[in-house]
Structure 1
Amino acid sequence: MTTNDPAGDSAAPVDAARAKSFGAVAAAYEVGRPTFPVEALSWILGPGRGLQVLDLGAGTGKLAAVAAGLGHHVIAVDPSPEMLEVCRRRTGIDTMIGAAESIPLAHASVDAVIIGQAFHWFDHARALPEIARVLRPNGVLGLLWNNADTVVPWVRRIWQAVQGDGFGGSDRFEPLPILEQSNLFTMIEQARFRHWHDLDRGGLRQLAQSHSRVAVLKESRRDQVLEQIDLIYDHTARPPEPLRMPYLTDCFRAHPSEFANYRRTMDGPVAPHL
């Protein structure tokens, strides 16, 4: 999921439809969307290996794969069977159907909860207590968003085509007020990392198709958007060189507060540390 698809705590029906649209475009999501910088996840998880990591709202497992590549034990949880079917093709990742508002794991069972491109879709009043519940006392919560660098003119034209009338200004989701108001996490730290995603003509088209605003359009309107995307590629790319889509990855990390740790011990038994 993506910050180009923001959603508030009280989503309108169209937002609910968009939130459920990703399963139908799992293949496009896998090809068109970028991975996450290794440096970003290392900043969140630290330099060690062997952590029990929950990738929540894991989608096709792009972020989970980076965590597994760093030597961690990863559980990917997502409500979409179609997304998890793609994720299961990756090595070193366990998968479970589940939602952020009802995480299918025991109390204090993971060292880290990482969330890439998904936190803005959660019901935060229900999800944050669940996240704090499954984290161990010294655990870490990491939020990551890949944001296309729309300062680049051709990138801006792509997002104008994808977002249509909704384009304009900054639509990057701001998690700080939500985390601070919950009282469940310590002071939040922030970092930003730059990276690129190489796309051919078909890949750029699939990137557009993977976005919820496009996925929920009527077929005729969706075809018009994809034609615009093709034209942008034809006027920008220099085959056989790939089109390098620039991204800025915004990262946030926080640890459970003393209140969250106390609440967890009152709520139920703690899972053993494996």
Structure 2
Amino acid sequence: MTTNDPAGDADNGVNAARAKSFGAVAAAYDAGRPTFPFEALTWVLGPGRGLQVLDLGAGTGKLAAVAAGLGHHVIAVDPSPEMLEVCRRRPGIDTMVGAAESIPLAHASVDAVIVGQAFHWFDHARALPEIARVLRPNGVLGLFWNNADTVVPWVRRMMQVIQGDGFGGSDRFEPMPILEQSNLFAMIEQARFRHWHDVDRGGLRQLAQSHSRVAVLKESRRDQVLEQVELIYEHTARPPEPLRMPYFTDCFRAHPSEFANYRRTITGPVAPHL
């Protein structure tokens, strides 16, 4: 998936609608979107087990499920009750309705904050202090984006259909300057991992439905887009074999800065380590 910085779009009303569109397509999002490679989570969280992990903007729990599968204690926070309803079906995950700008957790209560496909929607001036507040002094922030590999011709055609006029150019969100300018995070690193997502006809349609640009279209236009996506499947797939959609998972990890740790100690009590 490629993503755009909502703050960079001209029509903030459209951005707000896109940001809030996911609840209505929760089932399609869960069925159509890829998971995240466990190697990417291990790169951020380390090889151990048993960390207290907050998945912020967790959606249906795609990223949270991988963290739980690696043996960590996971709390999934998302503003959409519809998305969290799907997330609750996954084992080993606690859920809370909440936003990145006002995290419903105590000071220094988690070892890691992870964010998959959501950081670009946050109000960073408010969200980054909140993330730094709930992280323990030696904690880690991990940001993840699954980006379709559009070098593959059929993938490029599909993304052109989904993104419309927004396709192409420098459309991938770049979090590094935001993290650096906040003064709340240090030792910022990035890595990339390759993986594949197998989809059938219905899965490819659900993948398209789950994109915010498609979700906010008028029904007649949305139907046209989905018909074009199904045509791409018909011209590309060789049933019964699934289509293997290639992805790069772009990851960023950072740790609370000395300033963030000092700020936390003077703004509130520290939660006990469980």
The CA deviation at 1:114 is: 0.2
CA distance in 1, matches of 2:10, 2:102: 18
Deviations 1:45-74 (A, max 9, x none): 001000000000000000000000000000
**How much has 1:5 moved relative to structure 2?**
7.4
Q: Note the alpha carbon deviations across 1:156-207, whole angstroms, 9 max, x for none.
A: 0000000111112231100000000000000310100000000000000000
Two-structure CA RMSD over aligned residues (Å): 1.4
Match of 1:7 in 2: 7
- 4+ residue runs over 3 A deviation: 4-11
Q: Deviations over 1:94-127 (max 9, x none)?
A: 0000000000000000000000000000000000
Q: CA contact under 8 A between 2:2 and 2:171: conserved in structure 1? A: no
Change (3 A) 1:10 1:78: farther
- Does the CA contact (< 8 Å) of 2:140 and 2:255 recur in 1? yes
Contact 1:9 1:124 (C-alpha < 8 Å) held by counterparts: no
**Displacement after TM superposition at 1:9 (Å):** 9.4
Retained in 2: the 8 A contact 1:5–1:212? Answer: no
Q: Pick which of 186-195 and 95-104 moved more.
A: 186-195
Q: What displacement does 1:10 show?
A: 9.0
Deviates more, 1:32-41 or 1:169-178: 169-178
Deviation at 1:4, TM superposition (A): 5.9
Unaligned runs of 5+ in 2: none
Corresponding residue of 1:229:
229
CA distance in 1, matches of 2:5, 2:268: 36
Q: Deviation per CA, 1:204-243: give whole Å up to 9, x if none.
A: 0000000000000000000000010010000000000000
CA contact 1:4–1:147 (8 Å) conserved in 2? no
Structure 1 gap segments, 5+ residues each: none
User: Does residue 189 of structure 2 align to residue 189 of structure 1?
Assistant: yes
CA distance 1:117–1:7, shift in 2 (3 Å): farther
Deviation sequence 1:136-164 (CA, Å, 0-9, x none) = 00000000000000011100000000011
Q: Is the 8 A contact 1:9 1:122 kept in 2?
A: no
Secondary structure of the corresponding residue to residue 95 of structure 2: strand
What TM-score do you get using the length of structure 2 for normalisation?
0.98
What is residue 252 of structure 1 aligned with on the other side?
A: 252
Percentage identity across aligned positions? Answer: 90
Q: How many residues align?
A: 274
1:159 equivalent to 2:147? Answer no
